[in-house]
Amino acid sequence: MTAPDDEPEAPTARKADVVNGAPAEETLPTARKLALGQTFRMVAWSFLGIRRSADHAQDVQKLNPVHVVIAAVIGVAVFVLFLVLLVHFVIGLATSH
């Protein structure tokens, strides 16, 4: 009779590396975070409302919340500045006649 530890391990089974009751660092999944420029692009597409749901689901897993807040605040500021300049231009055209 063989001990349970002597049984061959199935090729697809993996034992987690455990160090002091927690998984070792190399076994934890690491997701690559989006760069600030990629976050700006994602927020810009979100402002327009034309993001594909598959792309959105992938990006949500990679988001850095600080980058999203920075990109959103800058995006809103640029949008408001654009509207102010547009209104100023239209009023200037209307009063110049």
* pLDDT tens per residue across span 14-72: 444 455 565 554 444 456 677 888 888 888 888 888 777 777 778 778 888 888 899 99
Q: What is the model's pTM?
A: 0.57
**∠ CA(7), CA(13), CA(15), 5° rounding?**
85
Give Rg (Cα) of the chain. 26
